[in-house]
Structure 1
Amino acid sequence: MAFGAPVGVCLGMASLIVLELLPNTPPVTLLVKSAVTGANNFVLVAVPMFILAGDIMQGGGLSRRIVASAARLVGNVKAGLAYVNILASMFFAAISGSSPATVAAIGSNMVPEMEKRGYDR
């Protein structure tokens, strides 16, 4: 850490040095293999990719159009913005199949819209 290395790298290097110096410990290659095997999990890869897909859809304007379509359907009723949020989330969840991606894409559009209409952050 004195040389400006990140804390995680320093902790990892210290752990590897201690594991190499202690007798009767498994070789470092076995530990690395265990870490890679543990990280090779579909869920650990899928969730960030769904969030990335939601950000891409939001950047391309798809989520903005979904919110606009939902607003045309139910936006004029009492508490219409809440209904718009629910309906847009249903549409987007049907497209992406992921709730984290829906939150990333629809939430980034609905929070400014709610603030514009007088809701507290």
Structure 2
Amino acid sequence: MKALTANRLSDGEVVFWKDGTWVERLSEAQVFSDEAGAGEAEASARTQRTVVIDPYLIDLVDSAGFWAPVSYRERIRALGPTNHELHGKQAEGGGAVEALRQAHGAARSSGRVNLIRRK
């Protein structure tokens, strides 16, 4: 399973794709089970350069009945700032936030591996 994420240009907020628009919560994001649908959404999102920057797909795993990113980095992005539990999206609490906190996975999502340049 995959989701599409980016950063909104106007304020830098982490956003997620949902049926042609951008939402701020991973729990509201559209989840793709097939590569074709995910690729189509990513291509469509890349045409909205004035709205977001660098949209890319992330891998998801099931965590307590919610979807959570495999990558630790992406879980941090989905929770907002992690300097304190009362800051960012994590301050809202709820099942989706707890699922993100308890999720386990790889250090890196396969969606970003192709962006890393090795010397």
Q: With structure 2 as the length reference, what TM-score do the two structures score?
A: 0.26
Q: Which has the higher strand share?
A: 2
Where is the helix percentage greater, Structure 1 or Structure 2? 1
Q: TM-score when scaled to structure 1? A: 0.26
